[in-house]
A = this chain, B = another copy of it.
Amino acid sequence: MSVTAASGFTAAGIAAGLKGFGKRDLALVVNEGPLRSAAAVFTSNRAKANPIIWSQQVIADGTVSAIILNSGGANCFTGAEGFQTTHATAEAVAEALGVSAGDVLVCSTGLIGEQLDREKLVAGAQEAAEQRSSNGGGHAAEAIMTTDSTPKKAVVKRDGWTIGGMAKGAGMLAPGLATMLVVITTDAVLLPAQLDAALRAATRVSLDRLDSDGCMSTNDQVTLLASGASGVEPESTAFTAALIELCQDLARQLQADAEGASHDIAIEVVGAVTEDDAVEVGRSVARSNLFKAAVFGNDPNWGRVLAAIGTTGAAFDPYAVDVSMNGVRVCSAGGPDRPRTDVDLRPREVHVLIDLHAGTETATILTNDLTHDYVHENSAYAS
Contact = CB atoms under 8 A, between A and B. Distances in A.
Interface in A27-56: 44-48
Given A289-B289, A293-B378, A370-B375, A46 B77 contact: no
Contact of A372 (B112, B307, B376, B382): B376
A287 to B, nearest CB: 7
Contact of A215 (B114, B288, B312): B288
A335 interface: yes
Contacts of A297: 378-381, 383
A303 B76 contact: yes
A113 interface: yes
Interface string A288-326: 111001101101011110111111100000110000000
Interface string A245-259: 000000000000000
Interface in A353-383: 370-372, 374-376, 378-383
A336 interface: yes
Contact of A304 (B82, B112, B302, B308): B112
Contacts of A171: 290
Identical copies of this chain, number = 2
Contacts of A45: 307, 310-311
B46 A294 contact: no
A327 interface: no
Nearest to A112: B303
A112, A176, A287, A290 pick with most chain B CB within 10 angstroms: A290
A318 B47 contact: yes
Given A47-B310, A375-B372, A215 B77 contact: no
B215 A310 contact: no
B381 A307 contact: no
A185 interface: no
A176 to B, nearest CB: 8
A14 interface: no
B293 A375 contact: yes
Given A47-B310, A215-B308, A218-B306, A77 B375 contact: no
A47, A112, A214 pick with most chain B CB within 10 angstroms: A47
A29 B215 CA distance: 42
A312 to B, nearest CB: 8
Given A47-B318, A79-B335, A217-B307, A302 B113 contact: yes
Contacts of A335: 77-79, 82, 113
Interface in A240-295: 287-290, 293-294
Interface string A118-158: 00000000000000000000000000000000000000000
Contacts of A383: 297, 299
Contacts of A115: 336
24 contacts: A45-B310, A47-B318, A48-B310, A48-B318, A76-B306, A79-B333, A79-B334, A79-B335, A112-B301, A112-B302, A113-B303, A114-B336, A171-B290, A172-B290, A214-B288, A215-B290, A217-B307, A218-B307, A289-B289, A289-B370, A289-B374, A299-B380, A299-B382, A374-B375
Given A79-B334, A372-B376, 16 more contacts: A46-B310, A46-B318, A47-B307, A47-B310, A76-B306, A77-B319, A77-B334, A78-B336, A82-B335, A112-B302, A176-B311, A215-B289, A290-B378, A297-B381, A299-B381, A301-B382
